[in-house]
Chain A
């Protein structure tokens, strides 16, 4: 089944550095969403990028989408300790009637 797969599974960086996470998926999509989850909490929507968009920004977040490679990346610039969380991509996919989430990237920002 189609599924977003995040890479890496875990990432640990120093505060102030940039963090990049990648998501690959298997079938064509209409849009792709990124969510953040703090430990044991609910998910928070970060950004949605449509299949006809290549790049989108929101504050310190930058998302790119390459439909030819079926991949997306999430860049967090100037990371902060509060960015420590798990990050998930979610895709729809033509014909699917639900968002399909990947297993996430666990990001740790070290002070």
Chain B
């Protein structure tokens, strides 16, 4: 257990569905991240939140919408996704937003878009 939980662990959705991924960290960290991991591609950073403020958005399509209501929770709202969005979505947190801090990852949500 890393102290970062994600739900659901698996999700199958159609292209017209709306769903949300949830991440919760129990570590008292101030920074949280969403990553996308596709087959045969490096881990891609999607969003970064520091003290509940979005500080980075790496050219992610608008069909992905993050939300950080407090420092412990992070959501990724999904709508009108494409089959190529099927991937493992990983949430992570770190003590502060800084590249000298290790990141703690959740187990991921395996998303399949039909």
CA A3 to CA B108, docked complex, whole Å: 23
Tell me the smallest distance from the CB of A89 to a CB of chain B, in Å: 11
Interface string of A71-111 (1 = CB under 8 A from B): 00000000000000000100010001111111110000000
A48–B102 Cα gap in the complex (Å)?
8
Interface SS, B side: loop
B48 near A43: Cβ-Cβ < 8 Å: no
Whether the pair B42, A42 counts as a contact (CB closer than 8 A) is: no
Judged by a CB distance under 8 angstroms, whether A60 is at the interface is: no
Residues of B at the A interface (CB closer than 8 Å) are 2, 4, 6, 40-43, 45, 48, 56, 58, 88, 90, 92, 99-100, 102-108, 110
**A45: contacting residue among B6, B42, B104, B107, CB under 8 A:** B104
Q: Which residues of A contact B104 (CB under 8 A)?
A: 45
Q: Within 8 Å of chain B (Cβ to Cβ): is A10?
A: no
Who on chain A is nearest to B107 by CB? Answer: A42
Out of B56, B58, B90, B100, name the residue touching A42 (CB < 8 Å): B90
- A43 and B105 contacting across the interface, CB-CB below 8 Å: yes
Given contacts A42-B90, A103-B40, A103-B41, contact A98 B110 (CB under 8 A): no
Alpha-carbon gap, A104 to B76, bound state (A): 25
Q: Interface code A18-57, partner B: CB below 8 Å = 1, 0 otherwise? A: 0000000000001101010000111111001010000000
Residues of chain B within 8 A (CB-CB) of A100 are 42
B41, A42: Cβ atoms closer than 8 Å: no
Q: Which of B42, B45, B99 lies in contact with A102, CB distance below 8 A?
A: B42
Are B99's CB and A45's CB within 8 A?
Answer: no
Chain B residues in 8 Å Cβ range of A103: 40-42
Q: How far is the CB of B57 from chain A (nearest CB, A)?
A: 11
- On chain B, the residues within 8 Å of A31 by CB distance are 99-100
User: Which A residue's beta carbon lies closest to that of B10?
Assistant: A40
Contact B42–A98 (Cβ < 8 Å): no
**B99 to A42, Cβ gap below 8 A?**
no
Q: Out of A42, A48, A96, which one reaches B108, CB within 8 Å?
A: A42
Q: Which residues of B contact A92 (CB under 8 A)?
A: 99-100
